[in-house]
A and B are shown apart, each in its own frame.
Chain A
Amino acid sequence: EIVMTQSPATLSVSPGERATLSCRASQSVSSNLAWYQQKPGQAPRLLIYGASTRATGIPARFSGSGSGTEFTLTISSLQSEDFAVYYCQQYNNWYTFGQGTKLEIK
């Protein structure tokens, strides 16, 4: 099983600042990596797939990068609605998720 490790577990950032979230795979997943956003009591929402392609309707302030085993989600200028938990997921070999990064208001 491919293990996905996200860091940090919690990230405190002020509105308007940049947030950088990391995800590492235990073995290469090529570019088969997605990012999801989840708010309390809600279902996950797809943000990024193919490591760097924004899903339909996702604002340009969200960007993804990386390939192989190291990936990054960057939110360029945090809005109030961006504070949530973010999960990475590999879909190169079945599906496994990271444990999540909670993005909180500083």
Chain B
Amino acid sequence: EVQLLESGGGLVQPGGSLRLSCAASGFTFSSYAMSWVRQAPGKGLEWVSAISGSGGSTYYADSVKGRFTISRDNSKNTLYLQMNSLRAEDTAVYYCAKDLLVGAVAFMDVWGKGTTVTVSS
């Protein structure tokens, strides 16, 4: 069974940093691109970042570019999101998701349960 388990969320002050982790199991982790998607309280879903299976290519939403860094350790089957210069508007539940490639496009087919990040003084 494919499972994704996020951790690392918490309360952080504006301008602070946090690193999220996502432990994957049940599939060949290195063969799949992965994404982070967030959901602010009471709001919809927003794609944040993605990384290729090898880790050699990374992509970011404009709202986090230059502040967040996505990475992965395929030997540990773990995805990361390093979040710096955090703002109140980054407050959200952060989900990691496995990307499924169909043809030349990919979508998220499995999601973790999420970890909550609160940015507040």
Residue positions of A touching B, CB distance < 8 A: 32, 34, 36, 42-46, 49-50, 55, 87, 89, 91-92, 94-100
A56–chain B nearest beta-carbon distance, Å: 9
How far apart sit A34 and B113, CA to CA, in the bound complex (Å)? 19
Inter-chain residue pair count (beta carbon < 8 A): 52
CB distance A43 to B35 under 8 Å? no
CB distance B102 to A49 under 8 Å? yes
CB distance B109 to A95 under 8 Å? no
CB distance A49 to B107 under 8 Å? yes
Per DSSP, are chain A's interface residues mostly helix, strand or loop, or mixed?
Answer: loop
Residue positions of B touching A, CB distance < 8 A: 35, 37, 44-47, 59, 61, 95, 100, 102, 105-114
How far apart sit A28 and B10, CA to CA, in the bound complex (Å)? 39
With A43-B114, A49-B102, A95-B35: A87-B44 Cβ-Cβ less than 8 Å? yes
B101–chain A nearest beta-carbon distance, Å: 10
How far apart sit A16 and B47, CA to CA, in the bound complex (Å)? 34
CB distance A89 to B45 under 8 Å? yes
> Which of A49, A92, A98 makes the CB contact (< 8 A) with B109?
A49
CB distance B108 to A46 under 8 Å? yes
Considering the complex of A and B, which 6 residue pairs feature the smallest CB-CB distances, nearest first?
A95-B47, A43-B111, A97-B45, A91-B107, A34-B107, A99-B44
